[in-house]
Homo-oligomer: A and B are copies of this chain.
Amino acid sequence: MKLLLFLFLITLFFFSCTTSASTYQHPLDPLNPSEFKLVRGIVQKTYEASPPSLTFQYIGLDEPDKALVLSWQSSNAKTKAKTLPPRRALVIARFKKHSLEITVDLSKRSIVSTKVYTGQGFPMMTFDEQDFVSALPFKYQPFIESVHKRGLNISHVVCTTASVGWYGEIKSNRTLKLQCFYTQGSSNLFARPLQGITVVADLDERKIVEYFDRFNIPVPKAEGTEYVATKQKPPFGPTLMGAAFVQPNGPGFKIDGHSISWANWEFHVGYDIRAGPMISLASIYDLQQQRYRRVLYRGYISEFFVPYMDPTENWYFKTFLDSGEFGLGQSIVSLEPLADCPANAAYLDAYFAGEDGVPVKIGNAICVFEKYAGDIMWRHTELELHDEIREVRPQVSLVVRSVSTVGNYDYIIDWEFKPSGSIKMGVGLTGILGMKGTSYTHVDQIKEDAFGTLLADNTIGVHHDHYLTYHLDLDIDGEANSFVKTNLETVRVRDQSSPRKSYWTVVPETAKTEADARINLGLKASELAIVNPNKQTKAGNKMGYRLVPGTVAHPLLLTDDYPQIRGAFTNYNVFVTPYNKSEKWAGGLYADQSRGEDTLAVWSLRNRCIENKDIVLWHTVGIHHVPCQEDYPIMPTLSGGFELRPTNFFERNPVLKSKRPKLVRFPKCNSQP
């Protein structure tokens, strides 16, 4: 009987495994827990190995060919399930100090290809291996002595990891550097670095391979560093009043698996351990054409370059590629309802595979909410007619949000969809600054470059940059698109035809090849758009979407400096490339210790034709950050972003005939919440 039950349970387990492994509805759905388990089983069985001898550095969806996805999308509802493209996973594993690229077919339950990567650079670091090596110093005698020498209690020391970058070394091992902090008396470890110590750990060997204790600088005091509410002392303030938000007829969006529909939009929200949220197949309903029209095939943050500006021994290497080295998806943190997202938000969970292939759940990884910010979608008051006319439409938009906490920094990543057709990408920088210890306690003591701002006693907030490079595979009403720069140029009136001496006009210029589309913004008055040269409005304007840039920064590192060679994809604010399935990561697939051989900047040098082709727009949001005292001990959010805005995509204002939502004054409530 017991045996029978056991067999039954085993059967059930396999059955449920099989079932759930195939329960994806959309070809771009992220891998689900059952699929991770299946991949894990297949790979571990094939290699007869598990961590630490075989580690999964990356498991993600091996994206089906775009043609297959599009043909699936256009198939009718009945046959849709049957036209789902084959489901494959891409595995990057570390095995015997090699990086393996393994493609697993999930329906066939087998490995379909394996490649040993022989180029430069290493795959993303897992949380597990970082945790492992972070614990090594505490068993490493020289480190213990260094802590003692500083008069600190080692039980309050915590070490975190930093990628090492590349500085011209010919041979590289897969290493990282450990950064240690003191935690006694404050939760804000990043404000209290132990400076002067270099600990290099080998991630494949899982041991400390280099150690120096060069100098001793006071660890900043705990006082004034705390940010946890329960540990604060009065006076408190400022006081902000509470509020509640009610949607009497429910939210306007529907979530079906990973597909979201709202107002005139539909799109898919995927997730990847490296990229974080990925928005796919975003289409907008055209009231006039009575159909959905595709805008964005796929959009995500491709790389995120954060170079610090301190060239000294303890800091020079801090030139992070937060996506390729640490994983913006792996770093996503659970969102707190009513604080990270408003009361009317819905939440999606996310799953990634640990280094052992076991799925790890991030609850409330992504939230989706309708934003009622009090903005105005459009309006006009007309006083020239007999009766005054006043027509106002309040703005409502849909936000998809996640927060990635990469060590000290918290990055708020918003995708905002507007009924008027705009997609706004928002980036919020908050969390804790990268700070270094110093002997200074007053600016007057500083006689040479301190590489940052003195924020408090013994504490410098180091100068740095943030460059978020977005991959935006726009498909304006189809794949064949062109990139058009509409330059605004001054025309001098040379005859007597006008009392004016000048005006400006537009000179459109279609980019033929990639070289035409490498652009530094802000130097020239110009509108940049992706258009469909084969589709025009009734009046004959080419249908398109334009890039409305927000915060723009140009790199200040020398282009031949090592970090900038690796981060060369930020050399221009805009690139356009022909669609190429393999050109996904602007800093290269193997970004850790990369040497800049596989970046967007290198791909673009092939100078391929981009006219009337399936093209990808790459845009970098850049922020130079000079820390200030307000950023201490925790930073008020600093915001940036940009907008993709329809330009002659519609025949007219697409929200002209949108009725005003019932924005009611107050619901009838008989008690306070």
Contact = CB atoms under 8 A, between A and B. Distances in A.
* Assembly stoichiometry (copies): 2
Nearest to A550: B550
Given A167-B500, A238-B263, A652 B224 contact: yes
Interface string A646-670: 1111111111111111111111111
A232 interface: yes
Interface in A466-498: 486, 488-493, 497-498
A242 B661 contact: yes
A652 B224 CA distance: 9
Contact of A241 (B250, B412, B632): B250
A189 interface: yes
Contact of A504 (B309, B541, B645, B649): B309
A658 B375 CA distance: 26
Contacts of A645: 630
A420 B636 contact: yes
Residue from A243, A504, A538, A673 with most neighbouring chain B CB atoms (10 Å): A243
B667 A285 contact: no
A345 B224 CA distance: 37
Nearest to A659: B236
Interface in A426-480: 428, 430-432, 441-444, 449, 451, 453-457, 463
A2 interface: no
B661 A668 contact: no
A287 B666 contact: no
Nearest to A419: B238
Nearest to A367: B374
Interface stretch (A274-282, A559-567, A603-611): A559-567
A107 interface: no
Nearest to A340: B392
Interface stretch (A98-106, A111-119, A311-319, A351-359): A311-319
Contacts of A530: none
A502 B558 contact: yes
A342 B374 contact: yes
Interface stretch (A5-13, A84-92, A395-403, A586-594): A395-403
A396 to B, nearest CB: 5
A170 interface: no
Binding site secondary structure of chain A: loop
Contacts of A432: 380
Interface stretch (A26-34, A60-68, A74-82, A621-629): A621-629
Contacts of A505: 309, 449, 451, 463
Interface in A174-190: 181, 183, 187, 189
A527 interface: yes
A3 interface: no
A626 B529 CA distance: 12
Interface stretch (A49-57, A206-214, A382-390, A576-584): A382-390
A325 interface: no
A377 interface: yes
A376 to B, nearest CB: 6
B490 A556 contact: yes
Contact of A380 (B227, B311, B664): B227
A636 B655 contact: yes
A18 B246 CA distance: 48
A160 B382 CA distance: 12
Contacts of A651: 629
Interface string A545-575: 0000010111011101111100000000000
Contacts of A342: 372, 374, 394, 663
A527 B626 contact: yes
A252 interface: yes
Contact of A376 (B340, B454, B646): B340
Contacts of A187: 382, 385, 389
Given A541-B454, A553-B525, A240 B661 contact: yes
Contacts of A656: 227, 232, 633-634
A264 to B, nearest CB: 4
B236 A658 contact: yes
Given A263-B238, A385-B189, A498-B312, A243 B522 contact: no
Contacts of A456: 538-539, 652
A324 interface: no
Contact of A421 (B235, B317, B630): B630
B412 A376 contact: yes
Contacts of A628: 541, 646-648
Contacts of A312: 497-498
Contacts of A649: 629-630
7 contacts: A239-B252, A336-B392, A379-B430, A502-B558, A628-B648, A629-B651, A635-B653
Closest 7 CB pairs of A and B: A242-B662, A443-B540, A311-B498, A373-B373, A167-B499, A238-B264, A522-B522
